[in-house]
Structure 1
Amino acid sequence: MSHIEKAETATHGSDRDGVPSLTHAHRVQRVPRKIGNPGPLGLFSFASTTLILSFYNTGVRGVVVPNVVVGMAMGVGGLVQLLAGMWEFATGNTFGATAFSSYGGFWISFGMLYIPGSGILDAYAAAPASELDSALGIYLITWAVLTFLLLVAATRRNLGLVALFFFLTITYILLAAGKFLNSTASNKAGGALGVVTALIAYYVGLAELLVRDESWITLPLGAMPKRID
């Protein structure tokens, strides 16, 4: 056997039938795949669902019954945003994972309110109207508390997120006040701020989507000062 044949046999090896087989020298090195940024997906899903419901709350085109948003709430604001939150855990972004997963759960729970089979609203059929309004007010004010906590956590990230959670907190408070006080004006004001919140979410999502290496333009998010220990 020549020196070349010996070298090839040592490199490739052979199975019991004499057919060359790859050894470590010729195996393909596996490179870990890079996980994409799930942030834009979660932000766009949140923004789209919030925009539709906020238009309904402000009475755009005379719409006052919000049931059309149920599909968006369950599929886009709920499921898609929840998936984005799970992938944020994979990227190591605990803040994004907590926010997206939480609001994904919010939209699913909100959509279930208006699904007849759930029986949630039917349970209040024999109760005074004020009881249902109070129950919904408590529901909304709880989300205002959670959103405020996320606002605190966002204060060292960027101005875009600070603005998003600030306006969302006020939106929840106004919508809750609309239920507690049976105030149409407060509900419409919450809807108007909800539109502003949705537009900010669109902007932040687009800013994260337009990365420098892949886009002609980038959008500023307003860097916050870093902590100095």
Structure 2
Amino acid sequence: MSACNHCNSAAQPPFTSDAGKEAGTAVPHSDFARDSRRSGSMDQLPGLPWGGALQPGVWRPYEHRKLANPAPLGLCGFATSAFVLSCVNLQARGVEAPNIAIPMALIYGGFIQILAGMWEMAVGNTFGATALSSYGGFWMSYGILLSPPWNISSPVNGPYSSDAAQLNSAVGLYLTGWFILTTVLLLCTLRSTVAFVFLFLTLDLAYLFLACESFAKSVGHLALADRLRVAGGVFGILAAFAAWYNALAGLMDDSNSFFKLPVIYMPWSDKAGGLGKKERDVEKQHHA
């Protein structure tokens, strides 16, 4: 039986890529199907928008890709760090000092997520490389901001120690920059999946509320600042679980799970509106 399967596989016509045409080589169909295999159902082929790979639009998997999908690693690093910091913002179990988030921010949310971003660059995913590397930079910079050795936010002998309002305004400007970046990335996800859009939307709102909290504190509106902090913590928790959801979608496949997470596309996405001719041709090659 296995010999027959091998014969049938060998009889399939090769799939020749553009690079292969130039080099005079052909990529076997079986290799292409294997290398473009991703978690979830076959509906994910060929390269449809998908949060599990941080791909916001129709894309074509690398042929003969040697690297695994780095998106789940980066998403988990972000989600875990965001969850811990958001719990502090919500003052869960009476914890108010954010210093517990420093090691998480520097290592898992920062360094590891930057590595995942570089690996996204290696597999040709511009959006994933930009998002993961940027948020890895956020977590590392935020960890440095909170670290006592750097003395940036110290109320005793830091650069803003004599003016708390200036410190809060500076932190507000810092978070506003990340709010703007997240808005830019959010605009790039609007033709993807509901879970993908939800991740960046909740994260965007978390940055917005936390920036407004800092600005409110800078002008003495402490009661308003507390409410904004709680709102930022709630949206941070939602963003963390959305990141975990997309990471799980990227990790699950037929070899390790008995079920698959549902993929709901935005009404105007390429999947919902139907694939174009080019994408249908690639799909035929996958199922030939």
* Aligned equivalent of 1:124: 160
Mind listing any 5+ residue stretches in structure 2 that lack a counterpart?
Answer: 1-63, 218-224, 278-288
Kindly indicate whether residue 88 of structure 2 is the aligned counterpart of residue 91 of structure 1: no
Q: Can you list the C-alpha shifts for 1:115-146, whole angstroms capped at 9, x where unaligned?
A: 122121211112x2111000000000110000
Identity among equivalent positions (%) equals 44
Change (3 A) 1:194 1:33: closer
Kindly indicate whether residue 92 of structure 2 is the aligned counterpart of residue 60 of structure 1: yes
Kindly indicate whether residue 259 of structure 2 is the aligned counterpart of residue 217 of structure 1: yes
Deviation at 1:213, TM superposition (A): 5.0
* Aligned equivalent of 1:105: 137
Deviation at 1:228, TM superposition (A): 5.5
Structural mapping, 1:170-209, within 5 Å: 170-182=205-217, 183-209=225-251
Specify the code of the residue in structure 1 equivalent to 2:234.
Answer: A
* Aligned equivalent of 1:158: 193
Which 4+ runs in 1 deviate beyond 2 A? 211-216
Residues 204 and 221 of structure 1 are in contact (CA less than 8 Å); yes or no, is this contact kept in structure 2? no
1:94 and 1:213 map into 2 onto residues whose CA distance is 28
Q: Can you list the C-alpha shifts for 1:137-196, whole angstroms capped at 9, x where unaligned?
A: 000011000001000011122221100000110110000011101211101110011111
Specify the code of the residue in structure 2 equivalent to 1:97.
Answer: A
Task: Answer with 1 or 2: which has the greater Rg.
Answer: 1
Specify the code of the residue in structure 2 equivalent to 1:100.
Answer: L
CA RMSD after TM alignment: 1.7
2:160 and 2:110 map into 1 onto residues whose CA distance is 25
2:110 and 2:251 map into 1 onto residues whose CA distance is 21
TM, length-normalised to structure 2: 0.66
Residues 65 and 123 of structure 2 are in contact (CA less than 8 Å); yes or no, is this contact kept in structure 1? no
- Select the residue among 69, 72, 86 that pairs with 1:37: 69
Range with bigger deviation, 112-121 or 78-87: 112-121
Q: How many residues align?
A: 198
* Aligned equivalent of 1:6: none
Mind listing any 5+ residue stretches in structure 1 that lack a counterpart?
Answer: 1-31
Q: Can you list the C-alpha shifts for 1:24-63, whole angstroms capped at 9, x where unaligned?
A: xxxxxxxx66210001101111000000000000110111
1:152 and 1:215 map into 2 onto residues whose CA distance is 32
Change (3 A) 1:58 1:228: same
